[in-house]
Structure 1
Amino acid sequence: MSIPQLPLALRHSPDQRLETYVNAPDGAIAQLRSLASSDEETAGYRDPSGADWVYLAGPAGVGKTHLLLAACAQADIAGRRAAYVPLSAAVGRLREALQSLDTNNDLLALDGIEAIAGRREDEIALFDTHNRARQAGIAVIYASRENPDELKLTLPDLRSRLSQCTRIVLTPLDDDGRAQVLRQRAQRRGLALEEAALEWMLKRMDRDLGGLTQLLDKLDRASLAAQRRITVPFLKRTIDDET
Structure 2
Amino acid sequence: MADPLPLTHPRLPGLTRSDFVVAPSNAVALAMIDQWRDWPGGKLVLTGPPGSGKTHLAHIWAAEANARILAARDLERAAVPELASTALVVEDADAIPDAAPQDALFHLHNLMREAQRPLLLTGSRAVASWPLTLPDLKSRLQGAQSAVLDRPDDTLLNAVLVKLFIERQLQVSPQVVHYLLRRMDRSFDAARRVVEALDFASLAQRRAITTRLAAEVLDKIEGAES
TM-score, scaled relative to structure 1: 0.67
Task: Quote the residue 2:126 is aligned against.
Answer: 147
2:49 aligned counterpart, secondary structure: coil
Task: Quote the residue 2:3 is aligned against.
Answer: none
- Greater relative CO (CA pairs within 8 A, separation 6+): 2
Corresponding letter in the other structure for 1:71:
W
TM-score, scaled relative to structure 2: 0.71
Contact 1:87/1:94 (CA < 8 Å) preserved in 2?
no
Tell whether 2:98 aligns with 1:113: no
Measured at CA, do residues 148 and 211 of structure 1 come closer, stay the same or move farther in structure 2, by a change above 3 Å?
closer
Tell whether 2:85 aligns with 1:85: no
Q: For structure 1, list consecutive stretches of 5 or more residues without a partner in the other structure.
A: 1-8, 39-45
Equivalences, count: 211
How far did 1:196 drift?
Answer: 1.4
Q: What CA distance in whole angstroms lies between the structure 2 residues aligned with 1:239 and 1:210? A: 14
Q: What CA distance in whole angstroms lies between the structure 2 residues aligned with 1:189 and 1:152? A: 36
Contact 2:48/2:150 (CA < 8 Å) preserved in 1?
yes
Task: Quote the residue 1:43 is aligned against.
Answer: none
How far did 1:215 drift?
Answer: 3.8
Contact 2:95/2:131 (CA < 8 Å) preserved in 1?
no
Task: Quote the residue 1:101 is aligned against.
Answer: 83
Q: What CA distance in whole angstroms lies between the structure 1 residues aligned with 2:63 and 2:204? A: 30
Q: For structure 2, list consecutive stretches of 5 or more residues without a partner in the other structure.
A: 1-9
Measured at CA, do residues 176 and 121 of structure 1 come closer, stay the same or move farther in structure 2, by a change above 3 Å?
same
Cα root mean square deviation, aligned: 3.7
Measured at CA, do residues 96 and 218 of structure 1 come closer, stay the same or move farther in structure 2, by a change above 3 Å?
farther
Task: Quote the residue 2:50 is aligned against.
Answer: 60
Contact 2:152/2:187 (CA < 8 Å) preserved in 1?
no
How far did 1:142 drift?
Answer: 0.7
Tell whether 2:146 aligns with 1:167: yes
Contact 2:13/2:167 (CA < 8 Å) preserved in 1?
no
How far did 1:213 drift?
Answer: 2.6
Q: What CA distance in whole angstroms lies between the structure 1 residues aligned with 2:125 and 2:150? A: 12
Corresponding letter in the other structure for 2:149:
L
